[in-house]
Amino acid sequence: MNKKRLLLLLQVGLLSLVVFAQNPISPPGVYIADPSARVMPDGKMYVYGSWDESRNYYCSKKYHVLSSSNLKDWSLSQTSFTSEEGGDAKAILYAPDCIEKKGTYYLYYCMSDNSEGVATSKSPNGPFLKGKSLGVKGIDPAVFVDDDGQAYYYWGQFQAKGAKLNKDMQSINMSTMKDNLVTEEKHHFHEGSWVFKRNGIYYYVYTSLSPKAEATTIAYSTSKSPLGPFTYRGIIIDNTGCDPCSWNDHGSVVQYKDEWYIFYHRSTHACQAMRKACVEKIHFNKDGSIPQVEMTSQGAAGPLDAYSVTDAARACLLTGKMRIVQSAPDREELARIENYNLVTYKYLKFDHAPKKLIVRAAAQNGGQIQLLTNSFRVLAIVNIPAGDGKTYSEYTTDVQGIPQGVTQVRFRFMGEEDKDLMRFDSFKFE
C-alpha cells in the first residue's frame, strides 16, 4: 500500500468522533449538505453529502460521512473520499450517493468539471479509493436498486436523465438511457435526484423551484416504472426561513425502523454556501401522496428538553439579518441580531410549567430578549445591558404562562434600530 492511501486510511480511522445532535445533525463547525441517507447492512443509517468549507463557493475537495443507530446520536467519519482519488485534485466534489452490494460499497460522485464517477470500499465509512469515470457529464448522481436486483442511475440539472447500471455497478448501460424523466417545465425540477419505491410506486425526489422561483423546496413525482413517465405530486419540505440568504435545498427520503424520513439541508452564515444536514419525519396518505412537513429543531428525535441547555444554533426559523455563525471550532451561535428579529425553536417539551428563563449572550449595543407565545403575547423579558460583544454572561428572568406540554419557543430581539444588539449562545428554563 502506498503512503497516500495509508494516510487516508489513518485519517478515516482516527478522525472519527461521536456527537449529540438533533437538528441540525451536522456537528458544530462541520457543514455537510446534500444529504444522501442509506440504511446499510449493519443496521445503521449513513449520510453521505457534500462538505461546505467556504462562504464563497459550494462544497470542497473532501467528503465526510455521518452515521447513527438511533437518528439522534451521530458519529462523524472524516475524509472518506477526496477529489485526488476522483482523478482531479483541482476539482471540487459536489453531491454524492452511496449504495452497498454483496459486501462492496459503491460511492457515486460528481465534480465541478461535470465529470461523474464511482469509487469502492469495504466499509460504509470508506476510505473510497480508485475513482473510476462513468463516462457521463452532469451533477448529483443517485442510485436505486429495484426488487429484481436491477440498479438504475440518475443524474442531471434542469432535466434529469436515467439509465440502467450494469452488473458491475461501475458502468452504465447507455442503450437504456432516457432523457427528461423530470424537467423544470413540467415538474419544477432543478437538480438533486433521489429515487425510492414504496407499495409499487416509484418516487422521484428532487430539489425543486419554489413559488418564489428559488430552489429551496424538495418535491416529488411518481410513476409505475423506474424510468417514468413521472407525474408531479407536490412539495415535501421548504427550507425558506432557515437563514436570510437560503437559496437551495437537496435531500433524500428513506425508511428506518418502520418510519419514513426526509433528509435535507439548511443554510447558515447568511450565505448560500455553508449548509448543514437535517432530518424530519414524514408520512404517507392512503393514495401514496406525502403531506408537506415543516422544519423543526427536534428533527427525528422527540422534542427538546426545555430544562436542558438548547444551543441557539438549533433555530429552525430566522428573520431579519440574524444568522447562525461559527464562534469556535466546536461552537455555533446567533449573531448580527438587530431590532425586531425573530427566532423560533420547534419543539420543546415542558414536563411542568417553568418559573425561570436563563439565556447566555454576549452583549454589544444591548437590548431586550422577549419570550413570545404563538399569538406573540410576551411571556418574559430579559434585559441585556450594553457590553463589549465578547464577554458572555447568563441572564435570568421570571416566566409565566407556559403550561406543561410540548410547544414551540420564539424569541424577539428589541433594541436600537440598525444596531448590532448581541450574540445569542443558548437558553434553558428552570
| Mean of pLDDT over the chain | 94
> pLDDT of 69-124, one tens digit each?
999 999 999 999 999 999 999 999 999 999 999 999 999 999 999 999 999 999 99
The residue that leads in pLDDT, 362 or 10, is 362
The per-residue pLDDT for 211 is 84
Return d(Cα 170, Cα 119) in angstroms, integer.
Answer: 8
The string of DSSP letters for 27-56 reads PTT-EEEEEEEEE-TTS-EEEEEEEE--SS
The C-alpha cell that represents 240 in the structure block: 425558506
46-63 confidence digits (pLDDT tens):
999 999 999 999 999 999
Region 353-366: mean pLDDT is: 97
25-63: b (≥16 Cβ within 10 Å) or e: bbbbebbbbbbbbbebeeebbbbbbbbbbeeeebbbbbb
| pLDDT, tens digit, 9 for 90 and up, residues 240-275 | 999 999 999 999 999 999 999 999 999 999 999 999
- pLDDT of 2 reads 44
Domains and CATH numbers, the chain: 3-282 (2.115.10.20), 305-429 (2.60.120.260)
Q: How many CA atoms lie within 13 A of 27 on its CB side?
A: 19
Residue 212 confidence class, pLDDT cut points 50, 70, 90: confident
DSSP state of 184: H
pLDDT of 373 reads 87
Q: What pLDDT shows up at residue 4? A: 44
CA 101 to CA 70: how far, in whole Å?
A: 23
pLDDT computed for residue 374 by the predictor: 84
Band of pLDDT at residue 6, cut at 50, 70 and 90: very low
pTM of the model: 0.94
Residue 290 confidence (pLDDT): 98
Task: Collect all residues with Cβ–Cβ distance below 8 Å to 209 and sequence separation of at least 6.
Answer: 184, 188, 190, 215, 217
- 178: which DSSP letter? E
**pLDDT reported for residue 18:** 52
Residues 341, 320: Cα–Cα separation, whole Å: 5
| pLDDT beyond 50 at 9 | no
The pLDDT of residue 84: 95
Among 308, 276, 281, smallest CA distance to 292 is for 281
CB–CB of 80/19 below 8 Å? no
Tell the residue number behind the cell numbers 439548511, with chain if given: 266
Write down the residue that cell numbers 406540554 correspond to. 405
DSSP-assigned letter for residue 313: G
CB 340 within 8 A of CB 413: yes
Has residue 348 got a pLDDT over 50?
yes
**Is the predicted pLDDT of residue 345 greater than 70, yes or no?**
yes
Instruction: Return the H-helix or E-strand segment holding 11.
Output: helix 3-14
Instruction: Give percent of the chain above pLDDT 90.
Output: 91
Chain centre to alpha carbon of residue 98: 16
